[in-house]
Amino acid sequence: MARDLIATPSQTVGPFFHFSLTSTAALGEMARPETPGERIRLRIRVTDGAGDPVPDAIVELWQADAQGRFPQPAEVVPAAPAHTYPTWGRLPTGDDGWCEFGTIVPGPMPGPDTQAPHINVCLFMRGLLRHVYTRIYFAGDGRLEGDPLLQLVAADRRSTLLAQRSSPGVWQFEIRMQGPGETVFLNI
């Protein structure tokens, strides 16, 4: 389909965003007291091609609620703090490459092919001229086998999309930018 306008190109987020985009850790607490669903802590670590921690990434998460729903446009009231959808969060990685979100386990997303519960990741950092996407699924979930995206990923790479439970209520997810075990990144 022909388009009239050239899209604005992406540019790196650079190293100096903290005082603006990630000035409050509150953006990592996605579940509110009234949000229905199973509460989890989600710890994410980002490492580079040398295996070193990436200390200046931004991790954004977008996810469905416990029923697998996203808010419809009419429900989106950007200035209203009282919503109950978890939907979105944003944190910077620390010097050790880790960040930790508080959220809920999303529900499976219904459709022609049911998508297993997952959280969408949008990743920005110095050295990424455009952001990259990936997904976090939950190891051990019985619905992984039928997930339409995981079907497209080579079997030996699917584990890069799985968070592992490290203790009750705590999940860990590694994002490896390069090298052995490079995380599967998505074109959307």
**Beta-strand (E) ranges in 32-168?**
39-47, 57-63, 88-92, 98-104, 118-125, 132-138, 162-167
35, 41, 70, 98: which one binds other proteins (CB under 8 A): 70
Site for other proteins in 95-134 (CB under 8 A): 111, 115, 120, 122, 124-133
Residue 144 is a binding residue for other proteins (CB under 8 A): no
DSSP three-state, residue 37: coil
Structure tokens at 89: 């969060």
Phi, psi of 94 (to 5 degrees): -90, -175
Phi, psi of 4 (to 5 degrees): -80, -35
- d(Cα 46, Cα 174) in Å, to the nearest integer? 6
Closer CB to other proteins, residue 40 or residue 115?
A: 115
Closer CB to other proteins, residue 88 or residue 98?
A: 88
Site for other proteins in 2-21 (CB under 8 A): 2-21
Least Å distance between CB 29 and other proteins?
A: 8
Least Å distance between CB 27 and other proteins?
A: 6
Least Å distance between CB 166 and other proteins?
A: 25
Residue 155 is a binding residue for other proteins (CB under 8 A): no
- Placement of tokens 């091609």 in the chain: 49
37, 53, 71, 102: which one binds other proteins (CB under 8 A): 71
43, 53, 62, 172: which one binds other proteins (CB under 8 A): 62
Residue 85 is a binding residue for other proteins (CB under 8 A): yes
**CA dist list (Å): 13 to 50, 125, 177:** 21, 6, 16
**CA dist list (Å): 130 to 16, 60, 89, 122, 180:** 16, 14, 19, 10, 22
Strand partners, 99: 44
Residue 149 is a binding residue for other proteins (CB under 8 A): yes
Residue 142 is a binding residue for other proteins (CB under 8 A): no
Residue 54 is a binding residue for other proteins (CB under 8 A): yes
Residue 50 is a binding residue for other proteins (CB under 8 A): yes
